[in-house]
Structure 1
Amino acid sequence: MTKLVYIDESGDLGFGPKSSTHLIITALVVSDSHVLERIAKKIRRNSTFKKGLKESSEFKGNKISEKSTKIALSNLNTIHEFRVIHIIFEKQKLKNSYLRKDKHNLYNHIAGKLAEYIALEDCNLIIRIDKSKGKQALIDDFNRHLELKFKEAGFSKNLEIHHSYSHSWIGLQMVDLLAWAEFQKICKNKDEYIRLINAEKQEEHDVFIK
């Protein structure tokens, strides 16, 4: 058996006065990508959603209307089997001066925390992450770090990691919405979006990095 994992984040890794207070990294775990595609087709037929697309053809929390966001999130609950894992990193608690300056390694450390929770899935995993690291060397470094964390978590099945553009993968668009919704809750005290997802399907984990 193989499960699919989609990963995206909301927030930033800056430490300036205009930077976000937290970085949220979210994983959406499903057994079948076709269920997400069917949901996407259903949502796109909704007249309210069509009007809320603005200039974007993707499900993006910062690009579609409030009503469209709620429609998309609510439809996730029609999936029989899925998990949503939120990693919450409060930046002011980071004291490590090296990681404060090295955003790539900091992101790898935070994302690596997902491994111990995703590794609970006793099956092969295909991980797809929104492509943001331009240089191949950075992609390879991320993959090595994540593979190591899975190994340390006792994961022994087959693991694939792919970096893809969100416009080609509905799973990446959905997890973008989920990360955005969690960010609204944690950073803006607005939980009206994330509450649309069945609470039993969601996990929140705070991350502390020395």
Structure 2
Amino acid sequence: MERISDIAPSPSGVNIYIDESGDLGFTGRSSPYFVIGAIIVEGPEKVQRLKTCMNRVKKKLPKKYNNIPELKYHNTDDIYRRRVLECIAKTSVDIAFLLLRKEQVYPRLRSQHQILYNYLTGSLVSTVISDYGFSSDVNVIIDKSLDGVVREEFDKYLVFRSLENGSSCHPATYQLEIKHADSKQNLCIQAADFIAGTVHRHFRDYLPYDDHYRVIEGNVKIGLDFFNGRQK
């Protein structure tokens, strides 16, 4: 696994908003990559700044977007994708992502979608927490696509991975809470969707003349690449 990391530790509280792009299928019609994007927002002022930013862009969208229940990377034109990304970048939030190169996943894991999803999300969240060294509450906010026992197992695994990874570097001095929110009502999760979509496109379709990744590249603090450089 290759990674990039450029962290300036902060003692303040944080919200980590998460969304993904691609799928965990392994058929000929599946996407070649699966990406989890995260926006790391420290303090309520930055949360409000990000929400205001997303609202401002949404209000300027053409009428054809009025009936779209949720603004997402895949249902937005390039010009408005860029506007959202420029807006996110200007809020000075940090960005982290995880890229899975699906062709390198062990065959025995390809049918274990939930196990794979939990592992990947846990890897990203635990890396963020470990690298930043948070000393106050950490909220992981993710779209409420999981239900019942699956959600409970996901939450327990995230807490386990975060504590396990953190304990190897420093004592856990934070409280971790996982929140499952409706992305249609959560502008910050919608922003994370744009991050995931942008990273996915960057690796899938790299277009030097129109690479949206360059807009947010300065905000990217953590990038995990599974499994570049080695076959899995």
TM-score, normalised to structure 2, is 0.81
Unmatched 5+ stretches in structure 2? 1-11, 167-171
Structure 2: how far apart are the matches of 1:57 and 1:207? Answer: 33
User: 1:150 Cα shift?
Assistant: 0.3
User: 1:51 Cα shift?
Assistant: 4.5
Structure 2: how far apart are the matches of 1:196 and 1:17? Answer: 31
Q: Which amino acid aligns with 2:123?
A: K
User: 1:115 Cα shift?
Assistant: 2.6
Does the aligned pair in 2 maintain the 1:52–1:67 contact within 8 Å? no
- 2:225 aligned with 1:206: yes
Q: Secondary structure at the match of 2:117?
A: helix
- 2:188 aligned with 1:188: no
After superposition, the C-alpha distances for 1:94-147 in whole angstroms (9 at most, x for unaligned) are 1150x21111111111111113321133132111011222x3100011111111
Q: Secondary structure at the match of 2:81?
A: helix
Instruction: Identify the match of residue 143 of structure 1 among 152, 155, 164.
Output: 155
The corresponding residue for 1:88 is: 99
Does the aligned pair in 2 maintain the 1:61–1:180 contact within 8 Å? yes
Seen in structure 2, the aligned counterparts of structure 1 residues 53 and 37 have a Cα distance that, compared at 3 Å, is same
Runs of 4+ in 1 over 3 A off after TM superposition: none
Q: Which amino acid aligns with 1:205?
A: L
User: 1:50 Cα shift?
Assistant: 3.0
RMSD (Å) for aligned C-alpha atoms: 1.9
Instruction: Identify the match of residue 26 of structure 2 among 15, 20, 27.
Output: 15
The corresponding residue for 1:44 is: 58
After superposition, the C-alpha distances for 1:139-171 in whole angstroms (9 at most, x for unaligned) are 011111111110011143111101111111111
The corresponding residue for 2:81 is: 69
User: 1:52 Cα shift?
Assistant: 6.0
Q: Secondary structure at the match of 2:21?
A: strand
- 2:189 aligned with 1:172: yes
- 2:174 aligned with 1:157: yes
Structure 1: how far apart are the matches of 2:64 and 2:221? Answer: 26
Q: Which amino acid aligns with 1:168?
A: Q
Q: Secondary structure at the match of 1:197?
A: helix
Structure with the bigger RCO (C-alpha within 8 Å, sep 6+) is 2
Structure 2: how far apart are the matches of 1:149 and 1:180? Answer: 25
The corresponding residue for 2:125 is: 115
Q: Which amino acid aligns with 1:129?
A: I
Q: Which amino acid aligns with 2:195?
A: L
Seen in structure 2, the aligned counterparts of structure 1 residues 2 and 200 have a Cα distance that, compared at 3 Å, is closer
Q: Which amino acid aligns with 1:204?
A: G
Q: Which amino acid aligns with 2:180?
A: H
Unmatched 5+ stretches in structure 1? none
User: 1:183 Cα shift?
Assistant: 0.6
Structure 1: how far apart are the matches of 2:173 and 2:195? Answer: 28
Q: Which amino acid aligns with 1:113?
A: S
Structure 2: how far apart are the matches of 1:63 and 1:44? Answer: 13
Structure 1: how far apart are the matches of 2:63 and 2:52? Answer: 20
Instruction: Identify the match of residue 129 of structure 1 among 142, 147, 150.
Output: 142
